[in-house]
Structure 1
Amino acid sequence: MWWWDARVTTLFKRNLQPTLTYWSVFFSFGLCIAFLGPTLLDLRCQTQSSLSQITWVFFSQQFCLLVGSCLGGVFKRTLAQSLLALFASSLAISVVFAIIPFCHNVVVLAVVMAMAGLAMGCIDTLSNLQLVKIYQKDSAVFLQALHFFVGFGALLSPLIADPFLSDTNCILTNGTVNSSSNLPHIRKSLVPHHPGNLSHYDLPTKGLVVTRVSYAFWIMALINLPVPFAVFLLLYKERLVPCCQRSSPPLLPADELAMETRAIDKDDSSTSSPKIQPEIGHGDLFGCCQSKNFRGVPCSYFAVHVTGALLLFMTDGIMGEYSGFVYSYAVEEPLSVGHKMAGYLPSLFWGFITMGRLISIPVSYRMKPATMVFINVVGVLVTFFLLLIFSSSVVFLFVGTASLGLFLSSTFPSVLAYTEDILQYRGCATTVLVTGAGLGEMVLQLLVGSIIHDQGSYSFLVCGTIFGALAFTFYVFLLFFHRMHPHPQSDMDLSPDKPPPPIGEPELYQS
């Protein structure tokens, strides 16, 4: 490709199968994360539950996603553990899709969605960890592609579900006609953990259930099935399937053998030089907090982890609360946008997030992660300021929504690549950042929902502006701690008269 040099192209070709596998697993993650919102009313009918009861299904999925993100690093210790965990998680998502139509009790459905959340959390942490491990300083472009696939899955899932959603109340009673006209508005206004703004709608819980949403889940289960198969193929290729192990590893092609020889020679020549600090491996969140991992590390080590997590707490929180409440904000005074037109706003937001992630793939190769994060956080803050200034303009609400999606799209992979680069891939950044992002998405939705309920819809933009300002502040702190953090001796010893490293020295994909 025109925007890749020979070294990155060689690195990508050598790790093509694992890279494509991790991208496909993240597609599975996106497929699972976006289906619940559009189908929630039909699932309410299936379980014959109230709106307040069915929104707890949202909570069970999001909470267990957070738990899975914290614990996902446990499986990183060997390649076999990582791939087996990814295989089990991606297969679990297909199983969850297949059995959801048989869950006729809201508690059972919540338990099933909790299982899906745990699987999604493991996928989120392990896919990011493995790509960072393979590509290290070149990981930014591959992380951007990884997060494009989650956006693609999240876009595809509602499109699959849409033809099977009920246009009228899916529990037939004598009062069906009166309540069915509100269903499109209710569906678009549903926000995880915050059904309070819909409490005045009285939807029936008893009667004849008529819904075809089961077909949507079975279609998504079939679409997802190739993903665990791809992970199994990678397990087989790496000789990690016990019953299919080969007696000897395959021979390397001549060019790869030459690169491997150069890498080994370099390692041999560097053994005599002392290491500046011990390598601290990635792990689960609790493993990262063990005191033995903190011996001899500077204070900036902790500060980089914390500020990076707080930055993503804000940006991912903005993403969650904006997509959740922009429809409700648009239909209220002073904008009073029609329900149908306002329904396009969340789709516009996620569409530009996906497009932004696609654009960021070539951009991230030419631009440093720190620069991309700066553009993102400044763009988010300026957009919220303009939305406040033109708060009475419907046109600018659509323009601002697209702009926010574009600026937020590449924030997570850019912050992850930047933070890992600061820590020289020795810290627990991936686990901590994934956990911080998931926590922000949960907490800020709850916070903004409560504030809007008490103070009115205008506070939606005020909250977004405050969160954007905090995100920029944490970015400045991250830059400051980057300058404080000691650089490894191998970087400081480089001098202009030394030749550059050979092209073929990328990290090998090893177990």
Structure 2
Amino acid sequence: KHSSFLISVLGPTFEDLALNVKKNISNISYIFIGRAGGYIGGSLIGGVLFDCMNPHLLLGFSMILTALGMYAIPFCKQAALLTAFMVSIGVSMGVLDTGGNVLILNTWGDQAGPHMQALHFSFAAGAFVSPIIAKLVFGSDEKGTQLLDATLPVTKAPAPETAFNLKSSLKSMWAYIVIGSFLFLVSFLFFLLYSRCGTVKDQSHSGSGKQLVAKHHLALVFLLFLFFFAYVGAEVAYGSFIFTFAKDFSHMPEAQAAGLNSLFWGTFAATRGFAIFFATCMYPGTMILLCLLGSTLSSLLLCLFSNHKVALWVCTGVYGASMATTFPSGISWLEQYTTITGHTAAAFVVGAALGEMVLPALVGFLLGRFPNQPLLMYLSLLTSTFTAIIFPVMYKLASGLLKTIQMKAPQVWSRPPRSGAGPP
């Protein structure tokens, strides 16, 4: 899942991108908004295109366009041009994320659970690898920067410092070239699949009665949209602000605060890896219930003991593990009741993207107004409670939909589906 490379590589190279276009960091922060806006637009476009053209062909072309955008970023010397490429990359990310989820469901159907978990585990793995590529492999020469700062006069520093930093930033920009080359090579695998497999969509939907009746389809999609809005927003907000919270509110040293941040994403990634195997023997509904129970309990304890360092370490690890499998399990769960098309998957991805934009921004805004309140923990508890309430409502609607399908197409449901019909 290449989008994780693109999301996480931007943070470590953000300062170098600013130097490349001769701007301040604060003056180009809008590239995040541009990428997010492009991602939402790409999700909607992908939902339409995926239902009317071959998925392998669409994903292959999207990856090539993304690779070309990655190649172009190191050579952008103007902020407007950099923003335009970020928007285009965001569009391709939206297309790929929407199409990837639907392609897995169309390919494996009711057996897609482990494959869906593997797809989303690759997101965590990519988020872990790309900062290493950006800074440890192609990092800037800090010694040279320090030496330059110590020797050059302040009045004459701007011109030569810019030239030096441009050279240094170009070194870290090689990360974009490497990632773009990887995407370019992977795109040929999709073209190879297109030449050998033909159209997957027709094969996957043939003989399936689920798409004939969807009494509560729109209601389920809307509720899952809200579900993913709260879940992904809380996940990104916690991962983004736990370092600041631990340092400023709990008065941890920076090294410990960074370790706490790493613990959250480490347990998140590890649990997604284990979920590949759990999905072979557990219902998606059961996995969602376990995640909701763990996130609600850990966020409640975080609110009650936000100043207790041991509780903060333990509950952060539990919270990260509890957040890991909710998104892929939610998609696999809904697939048991109704057909997930490109339009449907686009709604999920847009909901997640909006949550990723709105909730972290809200936390950042409120932290400046109420610095002495554990607002991050309050948000975690609020979103966990909301998702724990909304899931039984979705389950009730889905159960009613299943009964309708069974009455109108009993031959299709001669055996109960893998999840949702019985105890989750």
**Cα drift, residue 176 of structure 1:** 7.5
* Aligned residue number for residue 250 of structure 1: none
* Gaps in structure 1 of 5+ consecutive residues: 1-25, 178-203, 241-259, 280-296, 502-511
- Which amino acid is 1:360 matched to? A
So what's the TM-score if we normalise by structure 1?
0.71
* Aligned residue number for residue 233 of structure 1: 192
Distance 1:85 1:495, change over 3 A: closer
> Which residue, out of 298, 312, 317, partners 1:402?
317
> How far apart, CA to CA, are the structure 1 residues paired with 2:80 and 2:71?
17
Q: Secondary structure at the match of 1:366?
A: coil
On the 8 A contact 1:45/1:171 being kept in 2, the answer is no
* Aligned residue number for residue 420 of structure 2: none
- Which amino acid is 1:336 matched to? H
So what's the TM-score if we normalise by structure 2?
0.85
Q: Which moved more, 1:408-417 or 1:225-234?
A: 225-234
Distance 1:406 1:44, change over 3 A: same
Distance 1:230 1:371, change over 3 A: same
Matches within 5 A, 1:349-368: 349-368=264-283
Matches within 5 A, 1:28-177: 28-78=2-52, 80=54, 82-163=55-136, 164-166=138-140, 168=142
> How far apart, CA to CA, are the structure 1 residues paired with 2:360 and 2:230?
11
> How far apart, CA to CA, are the structure 2 residues paired with 1:64 and 1:344?
33
Q: Which moved more, 1:384-393 or 1:309-318?
A: 384-393
- Which amino acid is 1:278 matched to? L
Matches within 5 A, 1:486-505: 486-489=403-406, 493=410
> How far apart, CA to CA, are the structure 2 residues paired with 1:100 and 1:461?
37
The alignment's C-alpha RMSD in Å is 3.2
Q: Which moved more, 1:28-37 or 1:122-131?
A: 28-37
**Cα drift, residue 494 of structure 1:** 6.4
Deviations 1:209-258 (CA, angstroms, capped at 9, x unpaired): 23321222222223333211211211222368xxxxxxxxxxxxxxxxxx
**Cα drift, residue 356 of structure 1:** 1.1
**Cα drift, residue 351 of structure 1:** 2.2
Matches within 5 A, 1:3-14: none
**Cα drift, residue 108 of structure 1:** 1.5
* Aligned residue number for residue 245 of structure 2: 329
* Aligned residue number for residue 421 of structure 2: none
Distance 1:461 1:408, change over 3 A: same
> How far apart, CA to CA, are the structure 2 residues paired with 1:225 and 1:330?
40
Paired-residue identity, %: 26
On the 8 A contact 1:420/1:430 being kept in 2, the answer is no
> How far apart, CA to CA, are the structure 1 residues paired with 2:220 and 2:117?
21
> How far apart, CA to CA, are the structure 2 residues paired with 1:38 and 1:118?
22
On the 8 A contact 1:86/1:123 being kept in 2, the answer is yes
Q: Which has the higher helix share?
A: 2
Matched, 1:472 2:388: yes
**Cα drift, residue 492 of structure 1:** 7.3
* Gaps in structure 2 of 5+ consecutive residues: 152-157, 417-424
Query: If you compute each CA radius of gyration, which structure gives the higher value, 1 or 2?
Result: 1
* Aligned residue number for residue 212 of structure 2: 278
> How far apart, CA to CA, are the structure 2 residues paired with 1:420 and 1:176?
61
On the 8 A contact 1:144/1:413 being kept in 2, the answer is yes
